[in-house]
A = this chain, B = another copy of it.
Amino acid sequence: MKKKPNLSKAAPWLSAIGLFVLWELIVRIFNIPPYVLPTPSESIIVGWQFHEAIWMHAVHTLYTTLAGFAIAVVFGVILGALVGSSRAIYDAANPLLVGFNSVPKVALVPVLVMWFGIGTVPAIITAFLISFFPIVVNVATGLATLEPELRDVLRSLGATRTDILVKVGFPRAMPYFFASLKVAITLAFVGSVISETVASNVGVGYLMLSASSKFNMPLVFAGLLVIAVMGIAMYEIFNVIERRSTKWANRGNQTT
């Protein structure tokens, strides 16, 4: 069962390296020019060359992303709890939420810029706006699919709605919640980066736009790689938290 833990640890690295090698080979074999698709090696070299600037931009993007994401988690859980535990709120809020979410947030950035000026605030808000929806949906689904047997345990004790939510709703919805966090954090990155491309003088989004205007596609892809790495890092953090807090739901994996 606990076979080959080393392979398991190495797997992500192997697959990442595999992808890079494949990508490098494709670009070289088909002789794809760098302004269409640079090789990963070029991107990494150029990225290293500019590593100080990238670092500064990346820190900024990380900050805006996390700020927006944090708001999204709080807001998403509250709204998800409301939507998931009351039919009326579900009926009223859902179409609006869905409609809002079908809209590309990039179209709203100009409006935000008009109100909050260029830079950090619109990026945080965009990250928030783009990432709260999956949390709402999953938390609501987790609550709505709560087994009635478990709910009855609480109800038979005369528990209030809040009690039920806190004692069985949320714990039961945890796997759903974590699944949505993984989606949401990646979206939050997308949100802050696109906001930076629309109006900012700092952040990876700005860096990428600026690089692309100078035909420096390797630097654009270096920016993409940096975002990807930050996304993975955040994801892994949630993964660790998830494994600790939803052991019970994943108990079946011991035997596979």
Chain A residues packing against B (C-beta within 8 Å)? 7-9, 11-12, 14-16, 19, 36-37, 85, 87-88, 91-96, 98-107, 110-111, 114-115, 133-134, 137-138, 141, 144-148, 151, 175-176, 178-179, 182-183, 185-187, 189-190, 193-194, 197, 205, 208, 212, 220, 224-225, 227-232, 235-236, 246, 249-253, 255-256
Is A182 a contact partner of B111 (Cβ separation < 8 A)?
no
Task: State the oligomeric state as a number of copies.
Answer: 2
Given A176-B176, A190-B104, A224-B103, verify A183-B137 contact (CB < 8 Å).
yes
- Please indicate the chain B residues that have their CB under 8 angstroms from the CB of A187 in the complex: 101
- Please indicate the chain B residues that have their CB under 8 angstroms from the CB of A179 in the complex: 137-138, 141, 176
- Please indicate the chain B residues that have their CB under 8 angstroms from the CB of A93 in the complex: 15
Closest to A175 in B: B145
Is A186 a contact partner of B106 (Cβ separation < 8 A)?
no
- Please indicate the chain B residues that have their CB under 8 angstroms from the CB of A14 in the complex: 92
Given A134-B183, A141-B175, A144-B250, verify A88-B194 contact (CB < 8 Å).
no
